[in-house]
A and B are shown apart, each in its own frame.
Chain A
Amino acid sequence: MASSGSTTHVLCTALSALRLSSLLPWLAPPLLGLPTDPPPLTNARPCTMGADDSAHGASVASKTSPGSKAIAEAHEIGLDHDVPQFTVPVDSENKSKVLKIWSFQRPHHLSFHLSWMSFMIAFFATFAAPPMLPVIRDDLDLTKQDIGGAAIASVTGAVFSRILLGAVCDSYGPRYGHGVLQLLCASATFGMAAVSNSVGFIACRMIIGFSLATFVACQFWCSVMFTAKIVGTANAVAAGWGNMGAGLTHLIMPYILSGMEHIHPNFVAWRCAYMIPGSMQVIIGLAVLIFGQDLPDGNYGALRKIGKKDKAKTHMELLAAVKNYRTWLMVLSYGYCFGVELTVDNNIAPYLYDQFNLDLHLAGVLGAVFGLTNLFARALGGLLSDVLNKRFGMRGRIWCLWGVQSLGGVCSILMFYVDHSLGATMAVVVMWSLFVPMACGASYGIAPFITRRGLGVATGLIGAGGNAGSAVTQALFFTGANMTVAEGFLWMGVMILAVTATLGLLHFPMWGGMFTRGNPDITEEEYYSRDYTAAEREKGLHRAIMAWASESRSNRGFKEQLSKLSADLTTKANVANV
């Protein structure tokens, strides 16, 4: 198994998005463990981590390569490292071809469950404070600026840690990515119980927020464990279930606090309550390290030892992502779907508590609604993107993202106008909680197609953009004393609509954009090859992306593919007649 950058793994998200449209009902075959049919459009294998991944300068172990000596020795002593056995159908890279969400089969499904659980616990710990804020703010004598600053800190740290963790996963594996992050951030979670002022509160929330970078490790891990046809499903489900941690913490922490209040005064009880998320982080961190496995074939260390894994080279991938304006458009856009989700997670429970004079439990239960819809809503966004892609190609994907994200903005605006009625507010929150995660899912239906060479960096930057967007929104609308929370929702909604309108600038030369048509004469191969220099193209390094480019042709949409097919057939017929 050759090396793969984070590029390869997150590309599987997109490839599975391509596949999903041909697998309706999309969830049934993989979940039922039925074999999935090969894609109809091409025979190329899109998501290879072996010989095709020469973009990273990797090499496949062969009889003549240096790593093969170790394999040969392993064969001689009866250890068959080269042919692992699995209890699920796998492809040529030993990636699972099915997703059985009820299974803990090793290594694929156990890694899937460890991955989403780790991400969920990171969310649980990061957003444990908001549902207990009415108690915490009295104990620490916090002001609105302190609380806003802590909310900003909780999401800002992850901006950098998400970018960093892509490189960590590339070099050391997703297992260490999850484990190290959770075990180190757990110290800050426990440390929250000892803070005595706003400075300590803000610092702890920032360090705990680093754990949100487990999103990168989560997506990375799913991408290396599941084949291209279902990796989008696996990634969307894992990300959605992970995001659900914010809803769960709103639901559960008030009850943990209540339980502690039977024994201690409120100001001690909330500190004791923080032991729970801290302990969860330690447990999951250790579980990931002990029971997880980086790749289907084994852990990074073992594979390097027998020459089946090389280190990735990332500076050219970084350039490919950074110089593409589409990356930055999506960074901006994701900042106003996932960023909004993080902002609302920080503010909804205290808002309901203060605005409608609810008790802590009820505010937590109602606030949890926003996060809990991630159970299905994020995957729904990805599905909708795939469905529209099938008919309208990439233009359909962009319109889908624009549509659901704009509806999220409208809901945010409506929150201001219904601030007098709890029932109306919750009706808006329910709709809002669908559109925001759907926009997140739809975003990752577009992101993987921006660049092939810089895929991992691009998707990592976009993910970090979500946190950055939340930090900006929190600072602008929910930290100052002059603006109420309801007014903050109003202006946040206006900003969502304004930023979402920039999606009109997103244009792919071969696929078009919202208001522009694609040029059918420009091929996907040409577009993706632009990330390679002339010298690299001469060496043939760009050939690594050819299979991917071929697979991505489905973004032309049904009509265009049909007309192209017709034109090709006509040309062939003419040539034959001549």
Chain B
Amino acid sequence: MLRASLALALLALCGSAAATTYTQTYSTIQPATYTVSLGFNISGTVAPDPTPCTSFNTATSTCLPQVSVPDKDSVIITYSGPVTEGNTISIMTCFSNSSSMDRAWRKANAIIGKDKQCNVEKPMVKGLPTGEGTYTWTPGPNTPQSSYSIQVLEVVAGSNPTTYAAMGRSTGFFQIIPIDSRPSWLLGVVGGMCAVGPLTLAGFFVWEKMLKKEA
């Protein structure tokens, strides 16, 4: 009885997490009707129309605009396309191919809703108006170090599952410089804690030896 109850609870938990079935593919919204251009606010300097870099040099990373999270740099996204009443615009980051390679959790998928290369399930912003618009994205502290482009999708109003009417993608990429995830205070704590185990062991042996001498 207990086992059956646990099984039912488990299945209920699974049911609550059941994923929606997506079937719409990118080919249904080709060719792209939205144009997306990027500007960058880097160290306080706005570069509204930097030379787009379409090739990413993994060794030097010199080709791409470097957007620094600690310096609170931002990406200015400008999109332009047809106006459709009721529909909304979602903007999301897309990992570059080099940042997706050998990483199945960032794998591209022809089905829009299952595409993990572009974070379709987790857009940076939703509900923007169709037509023309601008959005400034300041990458948060949890943004991984990778190179990205930007994708825009027009969401059909009231659709369930979510369906898309149009798309656009920026040319070129930019690179995120992440936060320092190893601040000096953490390194100090780690150094101290790493010594605790061996010192405790050494201290125990010394104590045991002293006890034996006394005995």
Interface residues of A (CB under 8 A from B): 134, 137-139, 141-145, 179-180, 182-187, 190-191, 193-194, 196, 265-268, 271-272, 275, 278-279, 281-282, 285-286, 289-290, 301, 350, 354, 356-358, 362, 365-366, 369, 422-423, 425-427, 430, 481, 484-485
B71 on the interface (CB 8 Å rule)?
Answer: no
Tell me the minimal C-beta distance from A83 to chain B in angstroms: 19
Q: Is the CB of A426 within 8 A of B14?
A: yes
In the complex, chain A residues whose CB is within 8 Å of the CB of B140: 265
State which residues 186-201 of B face A: CB under 8 Å: 186-187, 189-191, 193-198, 200-201
Q: Is the CB of A282 within 8 A of B181?
A: no
Q: Is the CB of A481 within 8 A of B7?
A: no
Q: Mark B147-190, 1 if CB is under 8 A from A, else 0.
A: 00000000000000000000000000000001101110011011
Supposing A265-B179, A268-B183, A357-B121 touch, asked if A286 and B200 sit within 8 A by C-beta, the answer is yes
In the complex, chain B residues whose CB is within 8 Å of the CB of A194: 182, 186-187, 190-191
In the complex, chain B residues whose CB is within 8 Å of the CB of A485: 104
Which of A186, A265, A350 is close to B196, meaning CB atoms less than 8 Å apart? A186
In the complex, chain B residues whose CB is within 8 Å of the CB of A282: 196-197, 200
Interface of A is mostly: helix
Please report the C-alpha to C-alpha distance between residue A485 and residue B103 in the assembled complex, in whole angstroms: 12
Q: Is the CB of B105 within 8 A of A137?
A: yes
Tell me the minimal C-beta distance from A168 to chain B in angstroms: 14
State which residues 127-146 of B face A: CB under 8 Å: 140-142, 144-146
Please report the C-alpha to C-alpha distance between residue A194 and residue B179 in the assembled complex, in whole angstroms: 14
- Chain B residue with the shortest CB-CB distance to A134: B105
Q: Is the CB of B197 within 8 A of A184?
A: yes
- Chain A residue with the shortest CB-CB distance to B6: A430
Supposing A265-B181, A423-B14, A430-B7 touch, asked if A183 and B186 sit within 8 A by C-beta, the answer is no
Interface of B is mostly: helix
Tell me the minimal C-beta distance from A341 to chain B in angstroms: 19
A-B residue pair count with CB separations less than 8 angstroms? 127
Please report the C-alpha to C-alpha distance between residue A279 and residue B189 in the assembled complex, in whole angstroms: 12
B212 on the interface (CB 8 Å rule)?
Answer: yes
Number of interface residues of B (CB under 8 A): 41
Please report the C-alpha to C-alpha distance between residue A141 and residue B144 in the assembled complex, in whole angstroms: 8
Q: Mark B56-89, 1 if CB is under 8 A from A, else 0.
A: 0000000000000000000000000000000000
Q: Is the CB of B186 within 8 A of A272?
A: yes
Q: Is the CB of B142 within 8 A of A267?
A: yes
Cross-chain pairs A/B with CB under 8 angstroms, 5 sampled? A137-B105, A268-B181, A354-B104, A427-B7, A484-B104
Tell me the minimal C-beta distance from A24 to chain B in angstroms: 21
Supposing A141-B146, A481-B104 touch, asked if A180 and B201 sit within 8 A by C-beta, the answer is yes
Please report the C-alpha to C-alpha distance between residue A490 and residue B72 in the assembled complex, in whole angstroms: 46
Q: Is the CB of B201 within 8 A of A179?
A: yes
Q: Is the CB of B197 within 8 A of A285?
A: yes
Most buried by B among A194, A362, A369: A194
8 smallest CB-CB distances across A and B, nearest first, come from A267-B181, A265-B141, A138-B144, A143-B102, A186-B197, A190-B193, A183-B197, A423-B14
Q: Is the CB of B103 within 8 A of A144?
A: yes
Which of A183, A267, A426, A481 is close to B102, meaning CB atoms less than 8 Å apart? A481
Please report the C-alpha to C-alpha distance between residue A193 and residue B14 in the assembled complex, in whole angstroms: 33
Please report the C-alpha to C-alpha distance between residue A185 and residue B183 in the assembled complex, in whole angstroms: 24
Q: Is the CB of B11 within 8 A of A423?
A: yes
Which of B11, B141, B190, B196 is close to A267, meaning CB atoms less than 8 Å apart? B141
In the complex, chain B residues whose CB is within 8 Å of the CB of A279: 193
Q: Is the CB of B104 within 8 A of A265?
A: no
Which of B103, B194, B195, B196 is close to A143, meaning CB atoms less than 8 Å apart? B103
In the complex, chain A residues whose CB is within 8 Å of the CB of B17: 356, 358, 362, 422
Tell me the minimal C-beta distance from A400 to chain B in angstroms: 21
- Chain A residue with the shortest CB-CB distance to B215: A302
Tell me the minimal C-beta distance from A314 to chain B in angstroms: 25
Q: Is the CB of B204 within 8 A of A289?
A: yes
In the complex, chain B residues whose CB is within 8 Å of the CB of A266: 141-142
Tell me the minimal C-beta distance from A518 to chain B in angstroms: 37
B13 on the interface (CB 8 Å rule)?
Answer: yes
In the complex, chain A residues whose CB is within 8 Å of the CB of B102: 143-145, 481
In the complex, chain B residues whose CB is within 8 Å of the CB of A139: 144, 178, 181
In the complex, chain A residues whose CB is within 8 Å of the CB of B105: 134, 137, 350, 354
B10 on the interface (CB 8 Å rule)?
Answer: yes
Q: Is the CB of B200 within 8 A of A141?
A: no
Please report the C-alpha to C-alpha distance between residue A266 and residue B104 in the assembled complex, in whole angstroms: 21
B18 on the interface (CB 8 Å rule)?
Answer: yes
Please report the C-alpha to C-alpha distance between residue A317 and residue B43 in the assembled complex, in whole angstroms: 70
Which of A190, A301, A423 is close to B18, meaning CB atoms less than 8 Å apart? A423
B19 on the interface (CB 8 Å rule)?
Answer: yes
Please report the C-alpha to C-alpha distance between residue A290 and residue B204 in the assembled complex, in whole angstroms: 8
Please report the C-alpha to C-alpha distance between residue A104 and residue B71 in the assembled complex, in whole angstroms: 56
Please report the C-alpha to C-alpha distance between residue A516 and residue B135 in the assembled complex, in whole angstroms: 76
Most buried by B among A191, A272, A422: A422
In the complex, chain B residues whose CB is within 8 Å of the CB of A144: 102-104
- Chain A residue with the shortest CB-CB distance to B178: A267
Please report the C-alpha to C-alpha distance between residue A503 and residue B38 in the assembled complex, in whole angstroms: 64
Q: Is the CB of B194 within 8 A of A426?
A: no
Q: Is the CB of B104 within 8 A of A426?
A: no
In the complex, chain A residues whose CB is within 8 Å of the CB of B179: 265, 267-268
Tell me the minimal C-beta distance from A270 to chain B in angstroms: 9
- Chain A residue with the shortest CB-CB distance to B195: A187
Please report the C-alpha to C-alpha distance between residue A174 and residue B15 in the assembled complex, in whole angstroms: 46
- Chain B residue with the shortest CB-CB distance to A305: B212
Q: Is the CB of A191 within 8 A of B14?
A: no
Q: Is the CB of A285 within 8 A of B190?
A: no
Tell me the minimal C-beta distance from A428 to chain B in angstroms: 11
In the complex, chain A residues whose CB is within 8 Å of the CB of B197: 182-187, 190, 281-282, 285
Q: Is the CB of B181 within 8 A of A271?
A: yes
Most buried by A among B15, B101, B105, B198: B105
Please report the C-alpha to C-alpha distance between residue A422 and residue B198 in the assembled complex, in whole angstroms: 45
In the complex, chain B residues whose CB is within 8 Å of the CB of A484: 104
In the complex, chain A residues whose CB is within 8 Å of the CB of B183: 268
In the complex, chain B residues whose CB is within 8 Å of the CB of A271: 181-182, 186, 190
Please report the C-alpha to C-alpha distance between residue A431 and residue B123 in the assembled complex, in whole angstroms: 37
Supposing A183-B200, A267-B178, A354-B104 touch, asked if A366 and B186 sit within 8 A by C-beta, the answer is no
